[in-house]
Structure 1
Amino acid sequence: MFSLQHKTAVITGGGSGIGRAIATVFAQQGAEVFILDLNKSTADEAADAIIASGHKARAYAANVADQKQMKETIAAIAQEAGRIDILVNSAGISHIGRLDNTTEEDFDRVYTVNVKGVYNAMHAVIHQMKQQGGGVILNMASIASSVGLNDRFAYSMSKGAVLTMTLSVAKDYLKDNIRCNCISPARVHTSFVDNFLAKNYPGQEKEMFEKLSKTQPIGRMGKPDEVASLALYLCSDEASFVTGTDYPLDGGFIRLNS
């Protein structure tokens, strides 16, 4: 079950964190993965690790906010691989701030990466998927798409847009056999969390990590591999009846945090 043999998967933000975990699991299940990341060395490192384990991976430097670059990159992958079966939009940035202290520059930066970046990747791949008779798009949203979070104004805006773009694409391309879903994680323990704590709470990292972990009713943060496992299901043929759906992966945050 959940085999991705003979499938081609493009993963934005695949050089680190959740994106890298997804790329690794997809490759283990037989997919040829194309890792897109703003940092080419990070993408190369992730691809090299996959290749060293006996699986197929290629790395590309790509800025999701640059539509021309994304179109050229996706076109090159489609030409090389012959088709693109799966697109995972994992590239994204975070931002901390309320409405009154979010600058226009901060707002534009979050929008450009988290909203326009997802649009650019989907826009670049949709014609190829229509032409080949189908495909799967999976977007990384957030619990911020569905509930109010303190100090996450711009980030919540962007992830709400990801959720609604997902629903729109799922609706519009039903007849083209293109499925589109999204995952909404709560806090997931990645290097971003560690760097955030080191920068904002020097000397208090352990205490703050435990505090953030306990905001999930289950009592801990998620793991990138857990997101990757759900992504594998949603992008596999076993999920062929699933489209236009948001999957909270939140340790009970949305429903049990009352």
Structure 2
Amino acid sequence: MKGREKEVIVLTGAGSIGLAVVRRIGVGKHIVVADVYLKNAEEVARILYNSGFESSAFFVDISSKESILSLIKKSQEFGEITRFINAAGVSPSQASIEDILKVDLYGTALLLHEFGKVVKEGGSGVIISSQSGYRLGVISQEQSDLMATTPVEKLLKLEFLKTDKIKDTLHAYQLSKRCNSLRVMAEAVKWGKKRARINSISPGIIITPLANDELNGPNKEVYRKMLKLCPAGRAGTPDEVAAVAELLMSDSGAFISGSDFLMDGGVTASYWYGDLSPRNSK
């Protein structure tokens, strides 16, 4: 059913976390699910439809401005975009340095910029980032400012973001996730001109099909050690991330914008100051 009477929620990234978020905030709204793998988007849209939600599925490549603009145009056919969630991305074990920067860093910045132009006054958005941004350590104020404010199309031309300056895929991922939170801060100023809000969440290990693969894959001991030694002593669930997202996107979170919420069961705290600290392994 198309028409202008519906509020529209756009989800990029058809995974478990995004699904959990839109189930919490999507009642009575039209949910647009978009993914680089259309079959994944269609499956999530089917699950939503069979659970009583109104939904549509589309292809999107978040590293392509043309693809994002096409998604926005299609989404606006159902109504005004009032909520936006990005849960798309690739991991260090999935992709090359170049692809991580193109999708996780540039793609997220592009989404923030383009959806900030069209989100309805009073709307809100959430970027699902990662605890990895907190593992990067200290970077210079100049680099932080450049990642936050450089025009999107010039981001990957920054000297310190060139592929030959990045050690490995984990380093690329950490830089990307730090950039996510910095871009959210900068974009929140622009979104605020229409009283719209944007925040990010940096989850730790959240049980999804991908996380289960990692927990049983070649690096399983690393991940299992993280869970065993962190304060929470376990992994998180998509519903726990969705609970935070619901707060951030609801009237209860109306005073929160430009913020990043680290929720990793204390893994980062333990990495810097506890049993997971590299200092304790020497």
Give the TM-score band, short-chain normalised. Answer: 0.7 to 0.9
- State whether residues 166 and 180 of structure 1, in contact with CA within 8 Å, keep that contact through their aligned partners in structure 2: yes
Amino acid at match of 1:109: D
Q: Which residue of 1 aligns with 2:113?
A: 123
Q: Which runs of 5+ in 1 are unaligned?
A: 1-5, 98-104
Q: Taking structure 1 as reference, are residues 21 and 8 closer, same or farther at Cα in structure 2, changes over 3 Å only?
A: same
2:267 corresponds to 1:229:
no
2:262 corresponds to 1:248:
yes
Deviation of 1:198 after TM superposition, in Å, equals 4.4
Amino acid at match of 2:188: A
**Which residue of the other structure, out of 168, 192, 195, is the alignment partner of 2:186?**
168
Q: Which residue of 2 aligns with 1:36?
A: 34
Give 3-state SS (helix, strand or coil) of 1:126's partner: helix
2:80 corresponds to 1:83:
yes
Q: Which residue of 1 aligns with 2:210?
A: 192
Deviation of 1:96 after TM superposition, in Å, equals 4.8
Q: Which runs of 5+ in 2 are unaligned?
A: 1-5, 138-167, 275-282
Task: Report the count of equivalent residues.
Answer: 238
- Please report the TM-score for the alignment, with normalisation by the length of structure 1: 0.83
Q: Taking structure 1 as reference, are residues 209 and 143 closer, same or farther at Cα in structure 2, changes over 3 Å only?
A: closer
- State whether residues 85 and 127 of structure 2, in contact with CA within 8 Å, keep that contact through their aligned partners in structure 1: yes
Deviation of 1:253 after TM superposition, in Å, equals 2.5
Q: Which residue of 2 aligns with 1:137?
A: 125
Deviations 1:103-136 (A, max 9, x none): xx8221101110121122223222222xx42421
Q: Write the distance in 1 (CA, Å) between the matches of 2:198 and 2:47.
A: 29
Amino acid at match of 1:161: C
Amino acid at match of 1:180: I
| Backbone CA RMSD of aligned residues | 2.5
- State whether residues 26 and 232 of structure 1, in contact with CA within 8 Å, keep that contact through their aligned partners in structure 2: yes
Q: Write the distance in 1 (CA, Å) between the matches of 2:202 and 2:229.
A: 16
Deviation of 1:32 after TM superposition, in Å, equals 2.1
2:134 corresponds to 1:146:
yes
Q: Which residue of 2 aligns with 1:51?
A: 49
Give 3-state SS (helix, strand or coil) of 1:85's partner: strand
Q: Write the distance in 2 (CA, Å) between the matches of 1:161 and 1:154.
A: 10
Deviations 1:59-89 (A, max 9, x none): 11111111101101111211x1221011111
Of 114-123 and 207-216, deviating more is 207-216
- State whether residues 146 and 160 of structure 1, in contact with CA within 8 Å, keep that contact through their aligned partners in structure 2: yes
| Misfit runs of 4+, over 6 Å | none
Deviation of 1:151 after TM superposition, in Å, equals 7.7
**Which residue of the other structure, out of 177, 181, 194, is the alignment partner of 1:159?**
177
- State whether residues 207 and 235 of structure 2, in contact with CA within 8 Å, keep that contact through their aligned partners in structure 1: yes
Deviation of 1:229 after TM superposition, in Å, equals 1.3
- State whether residues 96 and 153 of structure 1, in contact with CA within 8 Å, keep that contact through their aligned partners in structure 2: no
- State whether residues 35 and 59 of structure 2, in contact with CA within 8 Å, keep that contact through their aligned partners in structure 1: yes
Q: Write the distance in 2 (CA, Å) between the matches of 1:191 and 1:215.
A: 22
